[in-house]
């Protein structure tokens, strides 16, 4: 797995704490939105098959299979 550390994307409101390509060839990045984020472990995957997945700072998740089908899970109400 290749990876890099700590690049800034401050115009988007986050810092990328790690990124790279996993053993399946899918690209990922882990994102730090700061202490105020409900989900401090946000990340994004962009997969070889055209699908992609977001774990968002508000606790929601979003998956798109790359063929027009998507699944959104809202933030949990417990936090």
Rounded Cα–Cα distance for residues 38 and 75 (Å):
9
Secondary structure of residue 12 in the 3-state scheme: helix
Q: What are the domain boundaries of the chain?
A: 2-73
More confident residue, 1 or 39: 39
More confident residue, 12 or 48: 48
Could you report the per-residue pLDDT of 59-69, keeping only the tens digit for each?
Answer: 999 999 999 99
Percent of the chain with pLDDT over 90: 73
Query: Burial, 31: exposed, middle or buried (Cβ in 10 Å; 0-12, 13-18, 19+)?
Result: buried
Q: Which two tokens stand for residue 29?
A: 């990045």
DSSP conformation class of 20: E
pTM (two decimals): 0.74
- Contact status, residue 64 vs residue 73, Cβ threshold 8 Å: no
């Amino acid at each position: 797995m290749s990876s890099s550390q700590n690049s800034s994307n401050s115009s988007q409101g986050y810092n990328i704490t790690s990124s790279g390509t996993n053993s399946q060839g899918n690209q990922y990045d882990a994102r730090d939105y700061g202490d105020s984020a409900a989900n401090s472990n946000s990340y994004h995957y962009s997969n070889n098959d055209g699908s992609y997945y977001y774990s968002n700072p508000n606790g929601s998740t979003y998956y798109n299979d790359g063929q027009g089908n998507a699944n959104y899970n809202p933030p949990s109400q417990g936090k």
